[in-house]
Amino acid sequence: MAFIDQAEIQVRGGKGGDGSHSLHRDKNTALGGPDGGDGGHGGGLWLEATSQLRTLVDFSYLDHYAAEDGEKGGKNRCTGASGRDIVLRVPLGTLVKDAGAGELLGDLVEEGQRLLVAQGGRGGRGNTHFTTPVRQAPRLSEKGQPGEERRLRLELKVLADVGLVGFPNAGKSSLLAASTAARPKVASYPFTTLEPQLGVVRVGPEESFVLADLPGLIEGAAEGHGLGHRFLRHVERTRVILMLLDGAGCDGREPLEDYRVLRQELKRYHPGLEKLPHLVGVNKMDLPEAREAWPGLKEFFRKRKVPALALSAAAHQGLEELVKKVYETLQKSTASPLEEEARSRPPKVYKPEPRFTLRRESGGIWVLSGKEVLKWVAMTDFNNEEAVRKLRDILTRIGAEQALKEAGAEEGDTIRVGKEEFYYVP
Ligand SMILES: Nc1nc2c(ncn2[C@@H]2O[C@H](COP(=O)(O)OP(=O)(O)OP(=O)(O)O)[C@@H](O)[C@H]2O)c(=O)[nH]1
Ligand SMILES: [Mg+2]
């Protein structure tokens, strides 16, 4: 199955059911009162985190999701049935953003954690609510409110404590296989690993950490070479980076040059990433070339105070020590500094929206707009005079009527709100 770690989807809550404007009739009462019930509420659309999924691939086939609409209200004050909620399952570690504004809506990191991403619309009220001394036999009822609708951007950042970074063929997957129960594919060609692989490293009876084996990086990953940078997003959540170098320089590599390039690519991907605590593992010590190179490498890293260890993933040498050292480093670093940085960013300042806006189109049509106005219009049943009258009351109350007058609207002018058009009557 393909590994997909980002997706965009359109979500919509269910529409609220329309209120009923039924009038009660029976043989014993000459004139019945209003008995129209409320519409049911629309269902909500939720996301839920589960460890059973590893990718966002399901969302690449279908990109529109809607919860169930509420049912219409009925006679005898019967409330319509509420629409069912829909729960979309996403892998643990999914960040949910508004695709437009980019605002972070939630970060689903715990099993079963839920986030409501599109609220269902409120059911319209039936005419029983509108009995007033003046409206003796009201025909007035509301339409259901539309469900909330938005475009979401989902980004998966796997949850791992330690990210394993290195050139292709350095032996990252071999190390994951040697130190965890995971069984990633190991092969002598570059880019064997095409998607992040996770494994749990047991350090002691109670101690463990999650290691992520990431696809190989090469120079120019920032410009899209090799598999590019895109898997580095998964390192952003890790607290420690383990850089694995091929000590034997197979494929004509030079370990120190690899180290330099890896650091550079991390930094190019996300300035600050190169400052995450990191350790170096020099692999393939079962080969004489690696053993020969080791003293020089050891000295190089000692001078720079970078913890470096020699190992052989194939021969299972030096693994215990490496695991211990990684665990120690992990314990010293509490949270990913990059995550912290993201959290401490000042929240965006939102300007309160005006209750409506008014403009005039070229054909002389007045266009009234704004969330609130659109909502009321959507809830109005235009075949129902009472409902239209109520809408007028509302437009007057929020000042739209006044604004039209001041702008010079004249009787008979067309006013457009959303898809509806009506005549202006002062
Ligand atoms: N001699 C020796 N060979 C090793 C060692 N570790 C890995 N290899 C070999 O190196 C090759 C690449 O190993 P992988 O574990 O697939 O390397 P990788 O870093 O995951 O590679 P990509 O997924 O392509 O980025 C394979 O042929 C392994 O058998 C080691 O400690 N010693
Ligand atoms: Mg691999």
Tens of pLDDT, residue by residue over 32-55, are: 677 889 999 999 999 999 888 878
Domain boundaries, the chain: 6-156, 162-344, 357-423
Residue 347 CA to ligand 2 centre (angstroms): 39
Q: 154 alpha carbon to ligand 2 midpoint, in Å?
A: 26
Atom number of ligand 1 nearest to Cα 185: 16
Residue for token pair 């919509």: 12
8, β-bridge pairs: 153
Intervals of the chain under pLDDT 50: 1, 344-351
Q: Do domains 6-156 and 357-423 have the same CATH topology?
A: no
User: pLDDT tens for residues 271-291?
Assistant: 877 788 999 999 999 999 999
The CA dihedral of 343, 348, 352, 353, to the nearest 10 degrees, is -110
242 CA from centroid of ligand 2 (Å) = 14
Q: Is the CB of 287 under 6 A from ligand 1?
A: yes
Nearest CA to ligand 1 atom 21: 169
Whether 169 lines ligand 1, by a CB cut-off of 6 Å, is yes
What predicted TM-score, i.e. pTM, was given to this entire model? 0.63
- Specify the pLDDT at position 5: 81
Contacts of 219 (CB under 8 A, 6+ apart): 225, 261, 264, 265
Residue 235: its pLDDT value, please?
A: 78
Regarding the beta carbon of 218 and ligand 1, being less than 6 Å apart is answered no
What pLDDT does residue 369 have?
87
pLDDT reported for residue 351: 45
Is any ligand 1 atom within 6 A of the Cβ of residue 166? yes
C-alpha 179 – ligand 2 centre gap (Å): 14
Nearest atom in ligand 1 to 191's CA: 24
Query: Is ligand 1 within 6 A of the CB of residue 191?
Result: yes
Considering every ligand atom shown, identify the ligand nearest to the alpha carbon of residue 311 and give its number.
1
Q: Which residues contact 21 (CB under 8 A, 6 or more apart)?
A: 34, 36, 126, 127, 138, 139, 140, 141, 381, 384
322 alpha carbon, closest ligand: 1
Atom of ligand 1 nearest to the CA of 168: 25
Q: Give the closest residue (by CA) to ligand 1 atom 32.
A: 284
Name the residue of 167, 169, 175, 246 to mutate for ligand 1: max ligand atoms within 8 A of Cβ: 169
Q: Architecture of 162-344 per CATH?
A: 3-Layer(aba) Sandwich (3.40)
Q: Would you state the pLDDT for residue 302?
A: 96
- Residue 348: its pLDDT value, please? 42
CA–centroid distance, 400 to ligand 1, in Å, is 70
Look at ligand 1, atom 11, and give the residue with the nearest C-alpha.
188
Q: How far apart are CA 105 and CA 56, in angstroms?
A: 17
Count CB neighbours of 368 within 10 A: 20
How far apart CA 325 and CA 309 sit, in angstroms, is 9
Domain 6-156 - what CATH class? Answer: mainly beta
Please indicate whether residue 171, judged by its CB atom, sits closer than 6 Å to ligand 1: yes
- Which residues face 118 on adjacent strands? 45
* pLDDT at residue number 335: 61
Report CA(299)–ligand 2 centroid distance (Å): 28
The dotted CATH code for 357-423 is 3.30.300.350
pLDDT reported for residue 347? 42
Q: Which two tokens stand for residue 81?
A: 């049935």
User: Can you tell me which atom of ligand 1 is nearest the CA of 194?
Assistant: 23
Query: 284 in ligand 1 pocket by Cβ < 6 Å?
Result: yes
Q: Which residue minimizes the CA distance to atom 25 of ligand 1? A: 168
**pLDDT number for residue 399:** 83
From the CA of 290, which ligand is nearest?
1
pLDDT at 1: 43
Query: Is the CB of 289 within 6 Å of ligand 1?
Result: no
Query: From the CA of 171, how far away is ligand 1's center (Å)?
Result: 3
The response to whether residue 283 sits with its C-beta less than 6 Å from ligand 1 reads yes
What does the pLDDT read at residue 32? 65
CA of 94 to the centre of ligand 1 (A): 30
